């Protein structure tokens, strides 16, 4: 399966050959500020699986281990880049409806920062911060160059 997507103006385009590892709704204040929305929805892929078909997006380092990418022309939010993975904004896919399938590890994260009047009704797991084991995983990878 090849997934495709890009920004609003089409200046940034990508292709991904891998299947998504997870889809995650993040309510943290940083996702909120960067996307302008009350939740940032990201689709996770292993580092190296995203191919930029046109211009690469601009990047902003939002915290020690994370860069966020966007189109410098239209402002479309594209990705969330870590040492070991590239997460793409669900809304930047050409067909986000096709992303849902068995075997993904989908959840809601950083619920402790959710805006109180914003509700999503589904049965995906909800975590105050990250799911169990995720903090340890990120700590182990800390300090390595961002490859995602
Ligand atoms: Zn653009
Ligand atoms: Zn977030």
Residue ranges of domains in the chain: 3-141
- pLDDT(102) > 80: no
The tens digit of pLDDT for each residue in 56-72 reads 999 999 988 999 999 99
User: From CA 78, how far away is CA 119, in angstroms rounded?
Assistant: 24
Which helix (H) or strand (E) segment holds residue 37: the answer is: none
The tens digit of pLDDT for each residue in 115-145 reads 999 999 999 999 999 988 888 888 889 989 9
Kindly give the distance from the C-alpha atom of residue 31 to the centroid of ligand 2, in angstroms, as a whole number.
Answer: 4
Ligand of minimum distance to the alpha carbon of 89: 2
Most distant CA pair in the chain, distance: 39
Which among 82, 71, 10 has a CA at the least distance from the CA of 44? 82
- DSSP 8-state code for residue 32: H
Which among 93, 94, 84, 113 has a CA at the least distance from the CA of 26? 113
Q: State pTM to two decimals.
A: 0.92
Residues with Cβ–ion distance below 5 A, ligand 2: 26, 28, 31
Third-level CATH fold of 3-141: glutathione-dependent formaldehyde- activating enzyme (gfa) (3.90.1590)
- pLDDT(95) > 90: yes
Query: What strands lie across the sheet with 50-52, from one edge to the other?
Result: 3-6, 13-16, 50-52
The tens digit of pLDDT for each residue in 37-58 reads 999 999 999 999 999 998 899 9
Kindly give the distance from the C-alpha atom of residue 47 to the centroid of ligand 2, in angstroms, as a whole number.
Answer: 19
Kindly give the distance from the C-alpha atom of residue 9 to the centroid of ligand 1, in angstroms, as a whole number.
Answer: 4
User: From CA 33, how far away is CA 51, in angstroms rounded?
Assistant: 26
Kindly give the distance from the C-alpha atom of residue 55 to the centroid of ligand 1, in angstroms, as a whole number.
Answer: 9
Q: Which two tokens stand for residue 111?
A: 């619920």
DSSP E strand stretches across the chain: 3-6, 13-16, 22-26, 40-46, 50-52, 58-63, 66-70, 77-81, 85-89, 107-109
Find the angle CA(107)-CA(110)-CA(113) to the nearest 5 degrees: 135
């Amino acid at each position: 399966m090849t997934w495709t997507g890009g920004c609003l103006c089409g200046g940034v385009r990508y292709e991904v050959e891998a299947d998504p590892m997870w889809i995650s709704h993040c309510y943290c204040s940083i996702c909120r500020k960067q996307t302008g929305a009350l939740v940032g929805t990201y689709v996770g892929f292993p580092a190296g699986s995203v191919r930029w078909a046109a211009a690469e997006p601009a990047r902003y380092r939002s915290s020690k281990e994370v860069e966020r990418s966007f189109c410098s022309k239209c402002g479309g939010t594209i990705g969330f880049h870590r040492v070991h993975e590239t997460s793409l904004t669900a809304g930047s896919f050409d067909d986000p409806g096709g992303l849902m399938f068995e075997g993904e590890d989908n959840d809601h994260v950083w619920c402790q920062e959710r805006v109180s009047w914003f509700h999503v009704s589904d049965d995906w797991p909800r975590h105050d911060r990250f799911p169990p084991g995720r903090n340890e995983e990120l700590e182990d990878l800390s300090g390595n160059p961002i490859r995602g």
